[in-house]
């Protein structure tokens, strides 16, 4: 089971990306924002920023998850990856309500990312040094 946690984290990340894409499409229709516009209504702009910020964070998260899984510990990496996803969901829900409500989820997902980065770096350094 624990060796499958990284795959679960990746699957949840893909679902998160799809969810935020659907949210943006719905917000475009609800607020009359025609593509390619990305401004025009603060409620839409927050939903759009949730999607963009999540995609930006995913670009750093997935390689860190993979490296931590391979060089550190798959069970820990996968568990922390699931925490990252939960933090991003918390971030998204909070940010869509009000910009100031995004902080808790941002902190959780950022801490998870940095733990994965640290585990990946530590494990890779040990591998390079032959330990």
The runs of H, that is alpha helices, within 1-102 are 5-31, 42-71, 74-97
Residues belonging to the active site: 29, 102
- The SS3 of residue 43 is helix
- The SS3 of residue 86 is helix
């Amino acid at each position: 089971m624990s060796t499958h946690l990284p795959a679960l984290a990746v699957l949840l990340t893909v679902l998160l990306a799809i969810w935020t894409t659907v949210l943006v499409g719905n917000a475009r229709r609800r607020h009359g924002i025609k593509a390619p516009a990305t401004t025009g209504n603060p409620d839409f702009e927050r939903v759009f920023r949730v999607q963009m910020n999540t995609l930006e964070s995913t670009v750093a998260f997935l390689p860190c998850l993979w490296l931590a899984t391979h060089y550190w510990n798959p069970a820990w990496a996968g568990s922390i990856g699931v925490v990252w996803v939960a933090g991003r969901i918390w971030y998204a829900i909070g940010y869509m309500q009000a910009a100031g409500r995004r902080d808790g989820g941002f902190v959780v997902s950022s801490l998870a990312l940095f733990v994965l980065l640290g585990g990946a770096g530590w494990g890779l350094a040990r591998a390079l040094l032959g330990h």
